[in-house]
Amino acid sequence: MAQQVFINLAVDDLERSKTFFAALGYSFNAQFTNESAACMVISDTIYVMLLVKPFFQSFTDKALCDANTHTEILTCLSCESREQVDALVAKALAAGGKALREPKDYGFMYGHGFEDLDGHLWELMYMDPAHVQS
């Protein structure tokens, strides 16, 4: 069985966050979605749990940070092409997100990113498979 990754993010407004990520093309697993949480499907092994802040807080005794003023995590997703990187950033901006900075082009690797509606940072990167050593 392949190992799975579940990223948990605190959100202010679950429906607003679901609408934002749906605009980027992501779907949600209804079996693990309710009024407090939504399971966003990134791939068959990567999921993002969008959790309303009171529910998220029930998993930790630590104070939650405000992702609009502090960086808690920088999630980086690989893309299949430079065009996919740019298309996802464009969708995020059209849905109300903010660009992190200008795209970075390293020749063999290209990246860009966005900030979602709750201030979480998302990097998107394409790496030319011909330059990846195994």
Model pLDDT for residues 22-35, shown as the tens digit of each residue: 999 999 999 999 99
Would you say 76 and 124 are in contact if contact means Cβ atoms under 8 Å apart?
Answer: yes
Q: What single letter denotes the amino acid at residue 27?
A: S
| CA distances (Å), origin 20, targets 33, 110, 126 | 16, 24, 22
Q: Report the predicted TM-score, pTM, of the whole model to 2 decimal places.
A: 0.88
Interval 69-107: pLDDT, tens:
998 889 999 999 999 999 999 999 999 999 989 999 999
Would you say 124 and 111 are in contact if contact means Cβ atoms under 8 Å apart?
Answer: yes
Q: What domains sit in the chain, N to C, each tagged with a CATH number?
A: 1-59 (3.10.180.10), 67-134 (3.10.180.10)
Helices (H), the chain: 14-23, 53-57, 82-94
